[in-house]
Amino acid sequence: MTDLTPEDKYSAKPIRIGEVDPHPDKPTGEFISIVVSNDYVNDEYLKMVVDVPDRALTAKAGQFYHLLCPTPDGAEVWMRRPMSIYRVDTGNKRLEFLYKKEGRGTQGMAMLEKGEEFNIVGPLGVGFWLEEGWKNIVVLGRGVGLATLAPLSQLAAEHNVGVTAILSARNPEVVMSRDLFEGLGANVIEVVDTDGSSDVDNVEKILEGLITDGKADAFFTCGSNRLLTLMKRLGKAHDIPGQVAMEQNMACGLGACYICMRTFEVDGEKTLRRVCRDGPCFNMQEAVGW
Amino acid sequence: MTDLTPEDKYSAKPIRIGEVDPHPDKPTGEFISIVVSNDYVNDEYLKMVVDVPDRALTAKAGQFYHLLCPTPDGAEVWMRRPMSIYRVDTGNKRLEFLYKKEGRGTQGMAMLEKGEEFNIVGPLGVGFWLEEGWKNIVVLGRGVGLATLAPLSQLAAEHNVGVTAILSARNPEVVMSRDLFEGLGANVIEVVDTDGSSDVDNVEKILEGLITDGKADAFFTCGSNRLLTLMKRLGKAHDIPGQVAMEQNMACGLGACYICMRTFEVDGEKTLRRVCRDGPCFNMQEAVGW
Amino acid sequence: MVDLSVKIGDVTLQNPIMPASGAFSWDYGDVIDLNRLGGLVAKTICREPRLGNPTPRMAETEAGIIQSIGLPGKGIDYFLENIVPEYNKWEPPLIVSVSADTAEDFAAMTRDLSVDGVDVIEVNISCPTKAPSGGNFAMHSEHTKEVMDGIRAATDKPVWAKLSPNAGDIVSIAVAAEEAGADALVLCNTFLSLKIRTDNFRPALGNKFGGLVSPALKPIVMRMVYQVAQECSIPVIGIGGVTKAEDVVEYMLAGASGVGIGYAGFRNPTALTTIIDDLDEWCDERGIKEISELIGAVRDDDIEWDPLVAASHGV
Amino acid sequence: MVDLSVKIGDVTLQNPIMPASGAFSWDYGDVIDLNRLGGLVAKTICREPRLGNPTPRMAETEAGIIQSIGLPGKGIDYFLENIVPEYNKWEPPLIVSVSADTAEDFAAMTRDLSVDGVDVIEVNISCPTKAPSGGNFAMHSEHTKEVMDGIRAATDKPVWAKLSPNAGDIVSIAVAAEEAGADALVLCNTFLSLKIRTDNFRPALGNKFGGLVSPALKPIVMRMVYQVAQECSIPVIGIGGVTKAEDVVEYMLAGASGVGIGYAGFRNPTALTTIIDDLDEWCDERGIKEISELIGAVRDDDIEWDPLVAASHGV
Ligand SMILES: Cc1cc2nc3c(=O)[nH]c(=O)nc-3n(C[C@H](O)[C@H](O)[C@H](O)COP(=O)(O)OP(=O)(O)OC[C@H]3O[C@@H](n4cnc5c(N)ncnc54)[C@H](O)[C@@H]3O)c2cc1C
Ligand SMILES: Cc1cc2nc3c(=O)[nH]c(=O)nc-3n(C[C@H](O)[C@H](O)[C@H](O)COP(=O)(O)OP(=O)(O)OC[C@H]3O[C@@H](n4cnc5c(N)ncnc54)[C@H](O)[C@@H]3O)c2cc1C
Ligand SMILES: Cc1cc2nc3c(=O)[nH]c(=O)nc-3n(C[C@H](O)[C@H](O)[C@H](O)COP(=O)(O)O)c2cc1C
Ligand SMILES: Cc1cc2nc3c(=O)[nH]c(=O)nc-3n(C[C@H](O)[C@H](O)[C@H](O)COP(=O)(O)O)c2cc1C
Ligand code: FES
Ligand code: FES
A151 and A75 together in one domain: no
pLDDT at A176 exceeding the cut of 90: no
Q: Which residue of A has its CA nearest to D306?
A: A263
Looking at the partner chain, which of A271, A272, A290 has a beta carbon nearest the beta carbon of D313? A290
Average pLDDT on D16-36 reads 98
Asked if A225 lies within 8 A of D309 by C-beta distance, the reply is: no
How far apart, in whole angstroms, are the C-alpha atoms of residue A246 and residue A235?
Answer: 18
Where residue B276 sits, what CATH number does that domain have? 3.40.50.80
Q: Are C245 and A251 a contacting pair at CB < 8 A?
A: no
Q: Which ligand 5 atom sits nearest the alpha carbon of residue A256?
A: 3
Q: Select from A124, A150, A175 the last residue of a domain.
A: A124
For ligand 6, the distance from its centroid to the CA atom of residue B261, given in whole angstroms, is 8
Total count of domains within chain B:
2
Chain D contact set for B30 (CB, 8 A): 31, 268-270
Q: Is residue A130 part of a domain?
A: no
Q: pLDDT tens digits, residue range C207-264?
A: 999 999 999 999 999 999 999 999 999 999 999 999 999 999 999 999 999 999 999 9
In a domain, B255, yes or no: yes
SS3 state at C20 = coil
- pLDDT tens for the 290 residues of chain B, in order: 567 777 778 999 999 999 999 999 999 999 999 999 999 998 889 999 999 999 999 999 999 999 999 998 888 999 999 999 999 999 999 999 999 999 999 999 999 999 999 999 999 999 999 999 999 999 999 988 888 999 998 899 999 999 999 999 888 877 778 888 888 888 999 999 999 999 999 999 999 999 999 999 999 999 889 999 999 999 999 999 999 999 999 999 999 999 999 999 999 999 999 999 999 999 999 999 87
Residue A268 lies in a domain: yes
Is D54–C169 a contact, with Cβ atoms under 8 angstroms apart? no
- By C-alpha distance, the chain B residue nearest D60 is B78
Catalytic residues of D: 127
On whether both B12 and B85 belong to a single domain, the answer is: yes
* Predicted pLDDT at A188: 94
What separation in Å is there between the alpha carbon of C137 and the centre of ligand 3? Answer: 17
Are B192 and B84 members of one domain? no
Q: Is B33 helix (H, G, I), strand (E, B) or coil?
A: strand
| Residue A131 forms part of a structural domain | no
Residues in Cβ contact with C44 at an 8 Å cutoff, skipping those fewer than 6 apart: C21, C22, C71, C73, C97, C98, C99, C124, C127
Do B118 and B33 contact (CB within 8 A), yes or no? yes
Q: Which pLDDT score, from 0 to 100, does residue B47 have?
A: 96
Q: What digits encode the pLDDT tens for the residues D41-58?
A: 999 999 999 999 999 999
Closest to A224 (Cα-Cα) out of A136, A149, A278, A126: A149
Q: Are residues A165 and A223 in the same domain?
A: yes
What average pLDDT does range D85-113 have in this prediction? 97
Interface pTM, i.e. ipTM: 0.97
Q: If you measure CA to CA, which chain A residue comes closest to C264?
A: A10
Is the CB of C136 inside a 6 Å radius of any atom of ligand 3? no
Mean pLDDT estimate for chain D = 96
A81 touches chain C (CB under 8 A): no
Question: Are A94 and A203 found together in one domain?
Answer: no
Q: At what angle do helices D141-154 and D103-113 cross, to 10 degrees?
A: 30
Which of A248, A272, A289 lies at the smallest CB-CB distance from D308? A272
Q: Would you state the pLDDT for residue B135?
A: 96
Please give the residue that has the higher pLDDT: either B9 or A263.
A263
Q: Provide the CATH number for the domain around residue B103.
A: 2.40.30.10
What's the pLDDT at B184?
83
Interface of B with D in 207-266 (CB under 8 A): 248-252, 254-259, 261-262
Q: A107 and A193 share a domain?
A: no
C296 exposure class (CB count in 10 Å sphere: 0-12, 13-18, 19+) = middle
Counting one residue from B and one from D, how many pairs have CB atoms under 8 Å apart? 122
pTM score above 0.95: yes
B58, B92, B124 - which closes a domain: B124
Does ligand 3 come within 6 angstroms of the Cβ of C190?
yes
Give the mean pLDDT of C173-185.
98
Best mutation target among C17, C24, C30 (most A Cβ atoms within 10 Å) is C30
The CA distance from B181 to B196, in Å, is: 23
Question: Is C189 touching ligand 3 by the criterion CB < 6 Å?
Answer: yes
C10-61 per-position pLDDT tens digit: 999 999 999 999 999 999 999 999 999 999 999 999 999 999 999 999 999 9
Q: What is the pLDDT of residue C127?
A: 87
Work out the average pLDDT over A76-82.
Answer: 96
Q: Are residues B119 and B145 in the same domain?
A: no
Residues B155, B279 share a domain: yes
Confidence of residue A1 (pLDDT cuts 50, 70, 90): low
Last residue of a domain, one of B103, B124, B145: B124
pLDDT at B176: 77
In D99-165, DSSP assigns E strands to: 120-124, 159-162
Same domain flag for A111 and A218: no
Please answer yes or no on whether B254 and D60 come within 8 Å at the CB atom: no
Q: Residues C242, C243, C247, C249: what is their CA dihedral angle, to the nearest 10 degrees?
A: 100
Determine the residue type at C96: V
Q: Which of B26, B75, B248 is opposite residue D30, by nearest beta carbon?
A: B26
Closest Cα to atom 37, ligand 2: which residue? B249
Burial of D29 (0-12, 13-18, 19+ CB in 10 A): buried
The answer to whether residue B168 is domain-embedded is yes
- For residue A1, tell me if it sits in a domain: no
Q: For residue B26, give its domain range.
A: 6-124
Residue B1 pLDDT: 55
pLDDT 10s digits, D237-294? 999 999 999 999 999 999 999 999 999 999 999 999 999 999 999 999 999 999 999 9
Judgement on whether residues A27 and A119 belong to the same structural domain of the protein? yes
Provide the pLDDT for residue B289.
80
Q: Is residue B195 part of a domain?
A: yes
> Which amino acid belongs to residue D255?
G
Query: Is the residue at A129 inside a domain?
Result: no
Residue B165 shares a structural domain with residue B111: no
- Indicate which residue's Cα is closest to atom 4 of ligand 4: D22
The domains found in chain C, sorted by start residue, are 6-310 (3.20.20.70)
Interchain CB contact of D133 with C (< 8 Å): no
- Candidates B25, B71, B257: best to mutate against D (most CBs of D within 10 A) is B257
Whether A96 contacts A59, CB under 8 Å: no
Sequence-ordered alpha helix ranges (H) in C15-140: 75-78, 84-88, 103-113
> Which is the closest atom of ligand 3 to the Cα of C260?
26
**Residue closest by Cα to atom 31 of ligand 4:** D23
Q: Is the CB of residue D215 less than 8 Å away from at least one CB of chain C?
A: yes
Do A81 and A176 reside in the same domain of the chain?
A: no
Q: Pairing state of beta strands B64-67 and B117-124?
A: antiparallel
* Gap from D266 CA to chain B (nearest CA, Å): 5
- Mean residue pLDDT of chain C comes to 96
